[in-house]
Structure formats: C-alpha cells, structure tokens
Amino acid sequence: MRSPNGKTIIVDKLLDALELEAMQYEIVYLSFYWVGSHFIDRIRGGCPRRSSTWIPTTSTISGPGERRNSIPTIKHIQWARQTRRDELAVYAKADAVLTVTEQDKAVLLEDLPEKPVLLMPNVHDVVPCTQGFAGRKDLLFVGGF
C-alpha cells in the first residue's frame, strides 16, 4: 500500500529488512514519537513474541516549543498543541516512555498517569564496552535519521 507521500513504502521496506518475525526482539526502542507514529502498530503486529516498545519524549512535551518565541503566533500555538496531541497518542501505545527531565516526566504523567515513565538523563559517564557486537542481542533501535 502506498500513502500519498510514499512513507508507507519506505516503512514497509525497512520493517521487512528488520526481520521482525525471525529476530523476535525483546525490546524495540523507537527514537522519538514521529518515528513511533510510523512503526509502533506494525511492530506490534509483526513480532510473534510480545515485544516491549519504548519511546523517548521530545522536549516539546513540557511545552518549550510554545515558549521559544517571545510572542508566539496563533499558527505556532496551534502547531504546538497538535504536536502534543500527536505525541501523547503515540506514547499511549508504548509500553514505556523515557524522559530526559523530571519536568517532562511530571507533565507526561498528568496526561498518562498509568503509563510507566522512566527518567533517563541525557548526561552520562562513558562506560567501556564489555561485549563485542556478536554478544549483543534482543534490542532493536530505530533512530530518527
């Protein structure tokens, strides 16, 4: 099936290449809600074993997008509100949502109080790798490139 902008074909090809049925991923980490919006339903339907889907939040969830301009336009406010609705719809489908700040976590829990929300700060110590590539399994990361 092809959508008007061709995204469906690209998503289908990528999902075919990920071999969801064969790999049986334990965790699928969908990097950002707009990636999740294209993949989460298809990943749920394509994994024979129940995969856990995790999606990190973006900074728009707590509203900085509306505060960036000193005088936001009505169009910008409408865009920010629609973005928030879109984000929440995708986060509601995920098994867990990751946030970078306590503020984002608190804001998200206001709208999705039953959702597991995990804090994962964006500052970390560098930890040396203890396993080579062959020793890693059960995690699929789909990033927003």
pLDDT at 144: 60
pLDDT at 60: 56
pLDDT at 110: 93
Residue boundaries of the structural domains of the chain: 7-121
pTM for this one?
0.68
Element (H, E) at 30: strand 27-30
Q: Which of 97, 79, 77 is nearest to 33 (CA)?
A: 97
CB 65 within 8 A of CB 33: no
Per-residue pLDDT of the chain (145 residues; tens, 9 = 90+): 344 555 667 777 888 888 877 777 788 888 788 888 888 888 877 776 666 777 776 655 655 444 454 577 888 888 888 988 998 999 998 888 888 888 889 988 999 999 999 888 877 677 887 888 788 777 777 766 5
